[in-house]
Chain A
Amino acid sequence: MRLNKHLTSAHDLSSRRQFVRSVIYGGLAFYGMPAFARASKPPLGHVVIVGAGFAGLTAAKYLREWSMGNIKVSIVEPNPQFISCPQSNLVLGGSRTLDELSFSYDLARKRHGLQWIKDTVTAVDIANKQVTLSRGNLRYDRLVLAPGVDFDYSRIPGMSSPVDDVPHAWKAGRQTLQLHQQLESMPDGGVFVMTIPAAPYRCPPGPYERACQVAHYLKKNKPRSKVIILDANADITSKKGLFLQSFQGAYQGIIEYHNNSSILQLDTASKTIKTDFETVKADVLNVIPPQLAGKVAQTAGLANVDQRWCEVDFTTYASNVNPDIHIIGDSISAGLPKSAHMATSQAKICAAAIVDIQSGIPPNPLPVFANTCYSFVDDKQAMHVANVYRYDPAKKSMVSAEGGGVSTKASVQEGDYAQAWAQNIWADTLT
């Protein structure tokens, strides 16, 4: 209570600003804050976060740390566990299990004093600053949406809704296991067909990494089999030269890459796909659907770019449609890769900005952050793309700084780095 009184009764706003600024500048952790201080009315308001993936959970942690517990954070997430999409392609290749990619939320929840609500947001009442849950309404001072991507089946001719036998496995979980089992059941000499939607979609190099992982499994276990990639894009969208080294090297005769191959008609019963150039029949069919911002961002009317993605201010991640609502991660329109590292970097800029806004001080006008993304081509070798991004006020976007780039080739050393990346980003997000 004294903390609350101290902060809210102070008429000298500058001293309050100094208090918060000093906390941020000092980079102090919140771990030692006693329970009674946390239980009092939050001096810097209540932030509700929708979605506990890489973006949402990171925002929650850093909002608590950088506000020194002076912002109350509630997080709404329907799923009981955190399942890492990064490395989930390795489950298909056989070098990872889904158990190794599954985590408990409990440590982050307890350590950071998060109010955890296992539920789904069905509506956002912008005028009254509240969200509707299945068990009632929740009021907020600021709302952060981190819902990831949703799938748009209306754009797949012949598959207007999900089909049990045709997994996307583009959100790690049961479908990852299902696709792995289908691969194990496929006869030697079978055909694995994967369709890639037009960009933007979650994890640009992900489909090509998946093709390599499936080919790695087939080469070892069913060497007469094939992987056919039907890519709606004009070319490989990420790490092109590096993936071609694998397609034309280790996996020559196994992987066939077909560009400009949008689905004209799909028959899920016979697993047959017609494109402009050919008709392909699959034994195992993996359709990665076209994507758009997570449902809650759509229903809140924030998907203002092609009615698919959300436009934001990159200094705060406030929606350009409604500045009281922040959007981070895969749902935003950014021209940047939709990666886990990108999601956590955005979440940190957003968290710092919200602490500033709630304290009455202007957010950093020139944010800078890094992105590193690894792809595995087999069980041991990986390659990276790495860039620094800085805000360009004239372009109002995050622009890739000079000097970024990709590996010269996939290597075991980078495979080790990729494992280290995973351990560290999991620890940063989940502890």
Chain B
Amino acid sequence: MMKRLQLSIALSCCWMWIASFSLYAEENNAQKNISHATTTLAASCAACHGPQGNSLGGTPTLAALNKEYFIQRMQGFKNGAISSTVMHHHAKGLKDEEITALASYFATQQRHTPTVAPHQPFEGAQ
């Protein structure tokens, strides 16, 4: 009986936890208005700017960056007002609405210290 009660409490907690996650996600969506297309486009920035825009160094961290600043920089790269070594090759390929959407996406990402990939000595198997 006690075990069943414990199980029932555990399951209820589990359900509440999941439901809250789902609600949070829906609220999040409404607040951010971030499209699926933007999420995948933003994800392709990770190669240089880190997971969810949290750079491991050497490139700017985009997570939690001010939206207006992101747009100002990217538009500057796009129209040539700001000189760059690499970014103009990306900014010129993006539509204005994509730059704005990326700005919204990165502005709402949490800034944190990213995990470094786990180095391991070469084992010689391959």
Contact = CB atoms under 8 A, between A and B. Distances in A.
Q: How large is the interface on B (under 10, 10 to 19, 20 to 34, 35 or more residues)?
A: 35 or more
Interface string A332-343: 000000001100
Interface string A228-244: 00000000000000000
B117 A427 contact: yes
A206 B42 CA distance: 27
Interface string B6-47: 000001001101100110111011001011110111111111
Interface residues of A, number: 83
Nearest to B23: A22
Given A104-B120, A107-B115, A26 B28 contact: yes
B2 interface: no
A407 B29 CA distance: 38
B73 interface: no
A372 interface: yes
B57 A403 contact: no
Contacts, number: 235
B36 A352 contact: yes
A84 B43 CA distance: 20
A22 B25 contact: yes
Contact of A384 (B21, B86, B105): B86
Interface string A343-357: 011001100100010
A62 B52 CA distance: 12
A36 interface: yes
Interface string B99-126: 0000001000100001111111111111
B119 A99 contact: yes
B84 to A, nearest CB: 10
A2 B120 contact: no
Contacts of A386: 86, 89-90
A419 interface: yes
A123 interface: no
B18 to A, nearest CB: 5
Contact of A426 (B32, B43, B117): B117
A348 B37 contact: no
B26 A387 contact: no
B34 A25 contact: yes
A242 B52 CA distance: 32
A402 interface: yes
A368 B93 CA distance: 10
Nearest to B87: A386
Interface stretch (A128-136, A157-165, A248-256, A410-418): A410-418
Interface string A150-181: 00000000000000000000010110010000
Given A26-B29, A349-B40, 17 more contacts: A24-B36, A25-B25, A27-B34, A79-B126, A80-B125, A81-B120, A348-B43, A352-B36, A352-B40, A368-B40, A370-B47, A372-B90, A387-B89, A400-B93, A417-B58, A417-B86, A431-B117
